[in-house]
Amino acid sequence: MNYILAGTLGLVSIVIPMLIARRETSQAYIMLALFLIVTSCANALPLFIHAVPTLELYSLAIVVPCYILQPICLWFYVKGICSPTIWHVKENRNLHFVLPAFSLCYALVLLFMPTHYLAELMQENAQTLSQPAEWMSMFTFAFMLAWVIQSSIYVYLIVRRLLAYRSELKQLFASNDKREMGWLFIVISGLVVVWVLAFCVFVTSLFVQSQSALTYALLIGYFALLWLISFWGLRQKPGFNERYLQKEDLETITALHTEEDTPQKYTRSGLDEARSQKIADKIEQVMKAKALYLNPDLSLKLLASEISEKPNYVSQTLNQILNSSFFDYVNSYRIEYSKQLIVQNQLSILEVALASGFNAKSSFYKAFKTNTGQTPKQFASTN
């Protein structure tokens, strides 16, 4: 067990300074570093207790605030890394910090509580508790229940934000390689599992003295997740990095966050059906005449400037008249163009992908399969 804990500490001690050094790029990295710190402190506590045995009496004062902070830090990281504008920590509502503040007060009470009460609280299978220890035991259980509810809420918020973020990418950009953050869905799924394990460890500790199997599973799960988060967290750039939106472009994002297929979605746009049809015709003309789809950096804003229309009007037209997101619309042109190149049989698949406006072979394969139901090689063999 100690080897796992030591490995965890060694990993995060290297990664955390590297994340903090990137705070100028995005303050989201600070929140990821804080997540790694509180997670490591909570899970490496047995190693600290082995070095300083008296620390065991104060273990709850460390574990409870750390667990309360975990989902909040991860939510702030996801919110920052997916932000369409440059994100700052100060933009967050103070409501997020209410439960952490209470948990810190709880920790302070434990730190200043007489040691004989702490020993009583930490005693396994205690038959009777003094009133102070009984009160703290009730508060501890209440915090763990609050943590379960809080974690569930933040998992929902994180998943919802990631799905909305992917929708934003598809509506605004034609190429999103390495920006979709699929690894975060894996992390969230893994965290749900280890958080359930952590709660089981806590509950069983109230009734069973030995729970080594659950504890080992929890430590291994956390180590795997910390490794995954550290590896991808260092590689992941902010989703809108180098293409942050200006304030005047945020109206498009606001429209995207309204429920699909509802009358309220475009009620304030001021764009009627006749005007939408004209914009659709202009889009079709410029895409065919200038082959804009061959530009791997094509964006909704660039297309809008080509036809001298507002980006939110172009987005609305694509969704309502052409029944497509910007991403899917552009890729449909790219796939049709790539078919011609494949039939000519003069370029490799990678060369076809790059010549058609894709940045990577993998994204080309995915788009081709989605549009045709075949891989490029299967299409080539039948044509």
What CATH number does the domain located at 2-235 have? 1.20.1070
Would you state the pLDDT for residue 293? 93
> Is 371's pLDDT higher than 50?
yes
380/352 Cα distance (integer angstroms): 12
pLDDT at 172: 86
Shared fold status for 2-235 and 248-381 = no
Q: Is 232 left (phi over 0), alpha (psi -120 to 50) or beta?
A: alpha
In this prediction, what percent of the chain has a pLDDT beyond 70?
90
- pLDDT for position 205: 67
Task: Give the containing element (helix H, strand E) for 238.
Answer: none
Least confident of 75-89, 156-170, 235-249, 352-366: 235-249
When pLDDT is averaged across residues 13-27 and rounded to a whole number, the result is: 92
Average pLDDT over residues 231-246: 86
Does 155 have pLDDT greater than 70?
yes
Whether residue 1 is predicted with pLDDT greater than 90 in this model: the reply is: no
C-beta separation of 57 from 115 below 8 A: yes
Confidence label for 118 from pLDDT (cuts 50, 70 and 90)? confident
For 291, left (φ over 0), alpha (ψ -120 to 50), or beta?
A: left
pLDDT in tens, 254-279: 665 554 544 455 555 667 888 899 99
CATH topology of domain 248-381: Arc Repressor Mutant, subunit A (1.10.10)
Q: Looking at the whole model, is its pTM more than 0.95? A: no
**Alpha-carbon gap, residue 66 to 59, rounded angstroms:** 11
Nearest to 225 by CA among 4, 20, 29: 4
How long a stretch of residues is the chain? 383
Per-domain residue ranges of the chain:
2-235, 248-381
In the predicted structure, residue 182 carries a pLDDT above the cut 60? yes
Mean pLDDT for all residues in the chain: 86
Q: What is the mean pLDDT of residues 306-322?
A: 89
Burial state string for 90-119 with b = 16 or more CB within 10 A and e = fewer than 16: eebeeeeeebbebbbebbeebeebeeebbe
Q: Select from 335, 337, 336, 299 the least CA-distant residue to 318.
A: 299
